[in-house]
Chain A
Amino acid sequence: MKADQTLDCMGLYCPMPIFKTAQKMKELKAGEVLEVVADDKGIKKDMPAWCNSTGNECLGLEEKDGEFHVFVKKKP
């Protein structure tokens, strides 16, 4: 999946990945995609929950060697 910006959250535990995602999303334009890279397994459930609460779209998650790449699209 393609992304307009990337956010590195490797080594950070909840709530930091979500907190940083919320901050970073402010920089994106509507419709842009943010790729969040984290190794805390909690992100598998945390990110869809965050998207659900904020109205942003969770496009999907890819797992590569213990790294979770989550793609989030900013709401219009």
Chain B
Amino acid sequence: MAEKEKLTLVVFSGDFDRALAAFILATTAASMDMEVTMFFTFWGLNIVKKNEGKIKSKGILRKMLNAINRGGTKRLTLSKFNMMGAGTWMMKQLMKDIKHPTLDELIKMAHDMGVKMIACTTSCGVMGLPEDSFRSEVESLAGAAYFLDEARNSKTTLFI
């Protein structure tokens, strides 16, 4: 069987709207028989953090960071017009109105279609995030060398 064309996505942003764009591209590419790898780094980690439970980190700075930056799809906000949450809520209503899949649904779809989701070890180290901070769809942790190796063998690489 012919080798699949590869798509690599770096997801650096933790914004709700950017997360939607990333997962729509990932699921569509997977539907088109592309092999997709998503590398979540820095604020992007917020998209794939588990929604429920505690994120256990050590040290006052990290505890403070993870308190204001808890993450998880239900806490993500729009990059513009968040308006203290009202804008994000309204956007979700608009999506519901046209039966657009929710971000959680897109993440599950992507996982079911074989999209690989990887979390950046360095960002986890800086922010003090233990391995159990993430949702089940995240398959492993890796670093920049792994990402670049995937990227150099990918026909298409995008930074979100």
* Contacting pair B27 A19 (CB below 8 A): yes
Identify the B interface with A (CB < 8 A): 5, 24, 27-28, 30-34, 98-101, 109, 113
A49 to B34, CA, bound (A): 13
Residues of chain B with a CB closer than 8 A to A12's CB: 99
Task: Give me 10 A-to-B residue pairs in the complex whose CB atoms sit less than 8 angstroms apart, sorted by A's number.
Answer: A12-B99, A13-B99, A14-B24, A15-B24, A16-B101, A19-B109, A21-B31, A22-B31, A53-B33, A54-B33
Contact among A13, A14, A16, A54 for B32, CB-based, below 8 A: A54
Residues of chain B with a CB closer than 8 A to A49's CB: 32
A41 to B33, CA, bound (A): 23
Contact among B27, B30, B34, B98 for A13, CB-based, below 8 A: B98
Residues of chain A with a CB closer than 8 A to B34's CB: 53
Within residues 54 to 70 of chain A, which ones have a CB less than 8 A from any CB in chain B? Answer: 54
* Contacting pair B28 A19 (CB below 8 A): yes
A11: Cβ under 8 A from any B Cβ: yes
Residues of chain A with a CB closer than 8 A to B113's CB: 22
* Contacting pair B99 A18 (CB below 8 A): no
Within residues 1 to 54 of chain A, which ones have a CB less than 8 A from any CB in chain B? Answer: 11-16, 18-19, 21-22, 49-50, 53-54
Residues of chain B with a CB closer than 8 A to A54's CB: 32-33
Chain B: minimal CB distance from A32 (Å): 18
Residues of chain B with a CB closer than 8 A to A19's CB: 27-28, 31, 109
* Contacting pair A50 B98 (CB below 8 A): no
In chain A, what residue has the closest Cβ to B2? A55
Residues of chain A with a CB closer than 8 A to B33's CB: 53-54
Residues of chain B with a CB closer than 8 A to A13's CB: 98-100
